[in-house]
A and B are shown apart, each in its own frame.
Chain A
Amino acid sequence: MGLLNFTRDPVPEAVSGDMHNLNQLSAQQFSDLTEVLFRFLTEPKEVERFLAQLSDFATLNKISLGPLKNIVKSILLVPSGALKRNLSSEQVRADFIALGLSEEKASHFAEQWKVNSPTLTRLALGQTLMINQLVDMEWKFGVTAGSSELEKVGSIFLQLKLVIKKGSQTENVSIELTLPQFYSFLHEMERVKTSLESFS
C-alpha cells in the first residue's frame, strides 16, 4: 500500500478485508450505507439513531450486524483523518482506492465528502478548545435609592452575571459596574468586534 493522505500510521490489517466486503455490495446498497454514515458524521450526537439505522440496513440487506459494524469502523477512519488534515475530495478518493475500494464506490464516497465537508468542518471547528468560554450573560440595572450611610442616593448601578464554562461545569460570576465603566466596556467590546471582523 502506498502512502496514504489521511493518516501516517499503519492501517489495521482488517481494513483491506472490510474494503473487499464493501466491494461486494451493489451500487445502491453502498449509496444507502454512505447516506447513513454521513448522517451520523454531520450529527455525531445521534448515536442511538445511527445504530438503529445500521441495524435496519443489516436486516434489509441480509448482512450480519457484527461484521457490518467492523466495516463501518474501517470506513470511518478515512473521513476522520481527512477532516483533521483538510483533505480534498480527490485525496479522499485516492485513499479509498489505495485501501482496496472499487473506483466507482471510492468516487461516490468522495462526492458525498465534498458535499458534506462544509458542515463537517464547522463541527470540527466547534470542537476546538476554548478556555473559560463565555456561554451566557444576564444583566440588570437599577437605581440605588438609599443606603445606611446616605439617605438619598439616586445613582445607577449595573449588574452583569457571566456564565462561564470551566471544563464540564459552568460557573457564574456576578459583577457590578458604574455607568462610566459600562460605557467604556461597551466601547471596548465594539473595538473587539471590529478587530474580529477584520480577521474573518
Chain B
Amino acid sequence: MGSRASRLLREEEIEEIKKETGFSHSQITRLYSRFTSLDKGENGTLSREDFQRIPELAINPLGDRIINAFFPEGEDQVNFRGFMRTLAHFRPIEDNEKNKNPSATEPLNSRTNKLLFAFRLYDLDRDDKISRDELLQVLRMMVGVNISDEQLGSIADRTIQEADTNGDSCISFNEFIKASFVVNIHICTVVWFPFLS
C-alpha cells in the first residue's frame, strides 16, 4: 500500500498525548503525519540526522542546540511522545485554562517551562548553571566568525555580571528568569500550529 504511517496512532495514545501536552486531536494526527514523514528509517523514532535533513533547520545557527533539546540525556532516538512533549512547550499560553486538578503539574507550555527550554539551550552540560564558557560557546554559534574572541568575551562577561546576583559567576535558572526581560513571551510561541476543522 505504501502508506506513509508505518503504523497508525491508536486512540488511547492520542488521548494520553492530549492530556499530557494539551494539543487537540487533529493537531496530534497532523503532527504524527509530520513525524512519520521525517522518519526516513520508518522505525518509529527520529534520529539527529532526520532533523538535519530539514534545510531551514540546518541553516539555523542554533539548529544543533534545538535538535538536542528533543533528545533525553544520552539518547540518540526520540519517539513520538518525546517529540510532542518538546513541541508542547511552544503552544500558546492559555491564561484562562481552568486547572482541573490543583495539584497537577504545571503545563508544558507555561511561561516558566518556556524559559526553562531556553535556559537549557545555553546550559550545555545540563548542570543547571550557565557558565561563562557555555555562554561563549552558544554566542559563538549565533555570531559565527564575525565577532572577535575578545569582544565576544566582554559581551559574555557583561551578560553574566548583569544577571548574576549570588556572585558565583554563573547564571542559575532563577537568575535567568529575572534577566530575560521577556515582556512578550509570545516570541517563544508558535501560534500557527496546524489545525484541521
The judgment on whether A and B are partners is: no
Listed in ascending order, the chain A residues whose CB lies under 8 Å from chain B are none
